[in-house]
């Protein structure tokens, strides 16, 4: 899983939006935008290598065990 060093939370978020459901300009807004920009900047370069990033030993190992069990069955 990718992680980014930034995070953001907005206290009383329901007060931070205008009548058009847009977030009002504020330091909270700026922080949310910063976090989203960072997320995009880290996501774009890793898109092409996603299969390698989500490949887990435990899942490959489990599949190998299932295959071994199936192949080792006695003939009828």
pLDDT tens-digit map of 8-20: 788 889 999 999 9
Report the range out of 28-32, 51-55, 56-60 with the highest average pLDDT: 28-32
Cα–Cα distance between 47 and 31 in angstroms, integer? 24
Q: How confident is the model at residue 2 (pLDDT cuts 50, 70, 90)?
A: low
Cα–Cα distance between 25 and 30 in angstroms, integer? 8
Predicted TM-score of the model (pTM): 0.57
pLDDT tens-digit map of 19-46: 999 999 999 999 999 989 988 888 888 8
Alpha-carbon 74 to chain mean position: 43
Cα–Cα distance between 76 and 42 in angstroms, integer? 54
């Amino acid at each position: 899983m990718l992680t980014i060093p930034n995070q953001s939370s907005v206290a009383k978020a329901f007060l931070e939006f205008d009548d058009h459901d847009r977030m009002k300009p504020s330091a909270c807004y700026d922080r949310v935008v910063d976090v989203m920009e960072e997320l995009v900047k880290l996501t774009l370069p890793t898109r092409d290598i996603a299969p390698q990033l989500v490949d887990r030993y435990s899942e490959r190992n489990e599949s190998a065990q299932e295959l071994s069990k199936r192949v080792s069955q006695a003939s009828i």
